[in-house]
Amino acid sequence: MSLLAQLGIAALLSGFIAGVARWRRSLTDSGTIGALISGTIIFGLGGWAWGVMLGVFFVSSSALSHFKEDEKKAAAEKFEKGHQRDIGQVVANGGIATLIAFLSYLFESPIWFPLFIGVMATVTADTWATELGTLSKRPPRLITTGQVVEVGTSGGISPFGTAVSFLGGLFIGLIAGITTDFSQILQYALIGGIGGLAGSLFDSLLGATVQAVYYSDERNKETEKKVNSQGNPNQHVRGWLWMTNDLVNLIASLFGAGISLFISVQLFN
């Protein structure tokens, strides 16, 4: 099959998935465009296994964002953005994966696939931990000090959320094994599980230390949002002003990719 045909099929599949997500209000208009571009490149240049992992992340994340929404409303008020993913969130979660797919087409190397697994495992692990971890019966603790914090606080983790993040990465690894080499499924599961968990925890570490956090007088609580519902600026209380949640997600995905590559080298060489 020619490259043009592969990209055409990839565009059709990505367009259908992005369109359904837009209809389900999981994506904004800009997010839909971003998902279409990212999906087309990953499906078209990376191949079937790459596209399936992307699809698993996207579909599971979208479904979990609507799971028990009412119970998660209080925590969602702290997040920088809502459940509708815009272009920034698409780039944060899929930008590195898209770049890896593009590089894999230009330069043949065994490093690209484990790197891609690590990125997808991290963003899946982090999203699952966010969407399900907020439902934990035990309050989260700050990853740096162990101090009990409110649900949704940047850098807060819980045993349940941590377990869920490992399962999210593990699931991506299993998908990688199923779609490529079933005899190596255990190795791929470890690459995804450990890489995803490491990336998710690094995300929490950045959230607790350098991510920009503000205080909302309107809500009387900390938030990732720069402005309140009236458009007035919230008070900056900690972190670097330029270190947004989207940037934290992107950096964490790079970290998870590096861990997955390291594990891959140890397991397959």
Sequence-distant (6+) residues with CB within 8 A of 173 are: 117, 121, 188, 189, 190, 191, 192, 193, 195, 196
Domain of 150, in residue numbers: 73-82+109-268
| Separation CA 199–CA 92 (nearest Å) | 13
Residue 207 lies in a domain: yes
Residue 216 lies in a domain: yes
Residue 143 lies in a domain: yes
pLDDT for 184? 92
Residue 153 lies in a domain: yes
Residue 51 lies in a domain: no
164 class by beta-carbon count within 10 Å (0-12 exposed, 13-18 middle, 19+ buried): buried
Counting Cα atoms < 13 Å in the Cβ hemisphere of 143 gives 21
pLDDT for 73? 57
Which one, of 102, 78, 116, 100, lies nearest residue 196 by Cα?
A: 116
**Into how many domains does the chain fold?**
1
pLDDT for 79? 54
Residue 224 lies in a domain: yes
pLDDT along the chain (269 residues), means of 10: 85 89 85 93 94 92 75 53 75 93 95 97 94 85 92 88 96 96 94 97 96 84 80 87 93 97 88
Judge contact between 245 and 81, C-beta under 8 A: yes
Residue 209 lies in a domain: yes
Residue 50 lies in a domain: no
Which one, of 58, 65, 24, lies nearest residue 38 by Cα?
A: 58
